[in-house]
Amino acid sequence: MQKGLNMIRLKALDDLAHRLSELLPPGLEDARVDLEKNFRAALHSGFGKLDLVTREEFDVQRAVLLRTREKLALLERMLGDMEARLDAQQSPQTRN
């Protein structure tokens, strides 16, 4: 099973394939089982090609990004303070 399919419940895909097969006209009842298998395979294949992550992985990366943004904001404030002090130190020297 591919990583992306972990996020999508396989039973939900199987149920969707079954519902699609039930929509077939009455004359295709003999082909219904084969078509349901084809629907299921196509759905699994399609979702398997998607670059999906689990909700848990998403939440972890979101938390990492939030911490990174907080650290960046702190560093920007610290840099602003340092630049202000440097400017204050250089201002008296340039007056002389």
Residue 93 burial class via C-beta count within 10 angstroms: exposed 0-12, middle 13-18, buried 19 and up? exposed
Note down pLDDT in tens along the chain; length 96 residues.
Answer: 445 445 456 777 778 888 887 887 777 777 777 888 888 888 878 877 877 778 898 999 999 999 999 999 999 999 999 999 999 998 877 665
Are the C-beta atoms of 4 and 44 separated by less than 8 Å? Answer: no
Q: What is the pLDDT of residues 11-26, one digit of tens each?
A: 777 788 888 878 877 7
Q: How far apart are CA 3 and CA 6, in angstroms?
A: 5
**pTM, full prediction:** 0.50
Quick one: pLDDT at residue 82? 96
**96 vs 52: CA distance, rounded Å:** 63
DSSP 54: -
**pLDDT, tens only, 25-36:** 777 777 777 888
